[in-house]
Structure formats: structure tokens, C-alpha cells
Amino acid sequence: MENFPVEERIKKRTEIRKILRKGKSAYAYGAKLSVLEAEQKDSSQSFSRIAFTFGPKYGNAVQRNRAKRLGREAYRHVRKSIKPGYDLVLMVFQPKDKKYDARYQDRLRQLKNLFYKANLFKGRRTQ
């Protein structure tokens, strides 16, 4: 089981805001993915970096932490098929149905849909 290395995470608020402001966005039910090409500090960067954030009023701390864990786990499974050299911010919004509790398969499907819309899968032709 592979872990999710720290260097592949975006933690700084200034970086997240920059990506949200300047990046291109893709939308799927309940989520938004902002993508910005990474400023190449190292020309051999073999990964993309990601941050998970939540819309205003997204549940309580327990719900946010669970959603973040689900998102990280789903991303961990698809990150090898993502093009390297991008900074990504995944923003998840509160579902309209307050009783809805996202499952891992739902989050994985949502991520794949967002990455497909953003043209981030390796080997996919640009349209």
C-alpha cells in the first residue's frame, strides 16, 4: 500500500488561493477541481500536487475530516495515471441532502470525472 507523500500536498493558503484564482476549473456534482500548471522549480518533477478544501458550511469537523480522508484515498489510487507537473485544488461542497454521506466509490468516481474533464489523464489526446 503506497502512502501519500508530503511533497505531493499543497498546504499554504497563498498557493491554494493562487490556484483557485488563476487556474482552469472543472465541475462535477458537489465538487470543483482547479488546475494550474506548476511553476517548474525542478524540471524532473514526476508528480502533481493537490490540496483538498471545502465549501463554506460543510458539516462539522468530523464530516470534513472524513471527506478529506476519502478524497485523499481516492486520489492515491488514481494519481499514477495523472499527468505530472500540475497543481490541483479539489473543493468539495455540502450536498443538498444533509443526510447524504459520500462513500469511497462515490468520491473515486467524482475524481475520475473531474480529471477526465480537466484532461489530466496520461495518454489522453487534447481536444
**What is the distance, to the nearest Å, from the Cα of residue 8 to the centroid of all Cα atoms in its chain?**
11
Q: Is residue 122 domain-resident?
A: no
Q: Is residue 29 domain-resident?
A: yes
Query: Tell me: the pLDDT tens digits for 73-123?
Result: 999 999 889 999 899 999 988 877 655 567 888 889 989 999 999 999 886
User: Which CATH number do you get for residue 97?
Assistant: 3.30.230.10
Q: Is residue 64 domain-resident?
A: yes
Max Cα distance, the chain (Å): 46
pLDDT number for residue 127: 46
96 lies in which domain range?
Answer: 6-117
pLDDT number for residue 62: 86
Domain tally, the chain: 1
Least confident of 5-19, 36-50, 59-73, 104-118: 36-50
DSSP states along 54-73: E-TT---HHHHHHHHHHHHH
Instruction: Say which DSSP state 39 is in.
Output: -
Q: Is residue 24 domain-resident?
A: yes
